Amino acid sequence: MHTYDMIINGRAVPGAATFEVVNPATGAPFARVAAGDASHVDAAVEAARAAFPAWSRTPDERRQALIGQLADLLETHMAELMELLTRESGKPLIGLDGIGSQMEVGGAIAWTRVTGGLSLPVEVIQDDAEARVEVHRKPLGVVGSITPWNWPLMIAIWHVIPALRAGNTVVLKPAEATPVATARFVALANGILPPGVLNVVTGTHGSGIGSAIAGHPGIDKIVFTGSTPTGKRIMGAAAGNLKRLTLELGGNDAGIVLPDVDPAAVARKIFKAAFHNNGQTCACLKRLYVHESLYEALCNALAAQARAVVVGDGMCEGTELGPLQNEEQRRIVQALADDARARGARLLAGGGPIAGPGYFFQPTIVADLSNGTPLVDEEQFGPILPVIRYRDIDEAIALANDNPNGLGGSIWSNDIALASTLARRLECGTAWVNEHGAIQPDAPFGGVKQSGIGVEFGLHGLAEYTSLQTVKIMKC
């Protein structure tokens, strides 16, 4: 069983102990990882601060070239990283409609290349006989990155690459459940980057590493992807030195299907939007509002998809959905299914665990619930979808917006003009028409309400890793 060390100041650093990483398809450990603590955060921050002056002054073209080499590195090690991701997260190598570990590494490569090619030029506000006024974007310093277990490598890339591109240095903490592919990437990247520019500190939930990063006076910005309660705690801890924050938090995305839709034509696409990665994606479709005229037909079509999808070990060819990543998440999904059943909902497919080793759960479609019930109101983060009936579109928009989260939402219709108008009425950071969850590295992504602060991706996301400096040059 291989042991993965921390990387601090360009060197492998073991912990005083290690912890095991479990393959959720088997329930058995497959790797060990160094168990760090707050002292390792201190060392990593010290290394990052020492590396920052030289890295921030590195010519822009040189930083771009090094980030391009990181993309090449990901591509060279794609097969290795795919296997590590599947073993630690459970997602299939290929997955439902191609959404699996291959897509995660491929997405990491794409985000690295696109972000590496972005730039934030000097903005000239005034240039006349009296004065020249310039607005410059400057790196912040040390960025602390805390990543979740659902898309561990790709989200690490989302955090790390724009930070490096802007001239910052990074201290990265991956989730305890899925640290392996990220630790491997950081080890590889340190063969390219100067020492201290990218550091990784690993540890268990009780190690205090996350709290140490959030409150550390030597860290200038926190970027975090995860739950809203944890994001609130990070926000409080970051107040000590007024850290900048980018928080991509919980989502309970609603989709609305208008009465002009053919249920058979959209069922597969809606199913994929809700169930890829076993529903363990912040921007999965998690509540589906369907007009009463086609409610039964679409419910039945989705249930047929759920019964037909291939669930199994992600390392096996043909697997579309793997296990849930951990047993705790499976218990949450089971509790929501049991509560729905007790409230008189119809479970049209699934509803329980799959016998055998691992954390498998049947893909589940639930009918006849409404707002005000846990499965509708709470983010399930698993393979279970409530389908809610509505009568008119104003009612559907009100129901979709009746939630503290506001990450994404979608409208499904053959009338593109109407759907686009309705999409803008959704209270969410990204609204899709006839799609849900599709993101790209050049378009900003983030939440409103309690789904987060700030955005990622593209020029808007890159700017969040900088501070503004106005320079006024008098000419007379």
At residue 365's C-alpha, the angle toward residues 362 and 370, to 5°, is 135
Q: How many CA atoms lie within 13 A of 428 on its CB side?
A: 33
| Residue 248 among the catalytic residues | yes
Contact 98, 79 (CB under 8 A): no
Q: What is the identity of the amino acid at 325?
A: Q
How far is 159 from 364, CA to CA, in rounded Å?
33
Alpha carbon of residue 184 to chain centroid: 19
Residue identified by tokens 């809606």 is 270
For residue 357 the two structure tokens come to: 């080793």
How far is 163 from 183, CA to CA, in rounded Å?
18
The CA-atom distances, in angstroms, between 13 and each of 6, 8, 199, 218 are 5, 7, 10, 20
What value does the CA radius of gyration of the chain take, rounded to a whole number of Å? 23
Residue identified by tokens 């579109």 is 393
> Which one of 248, 320, 379, 456 is the catalytic residue?
248
Active site residue ranges: 248
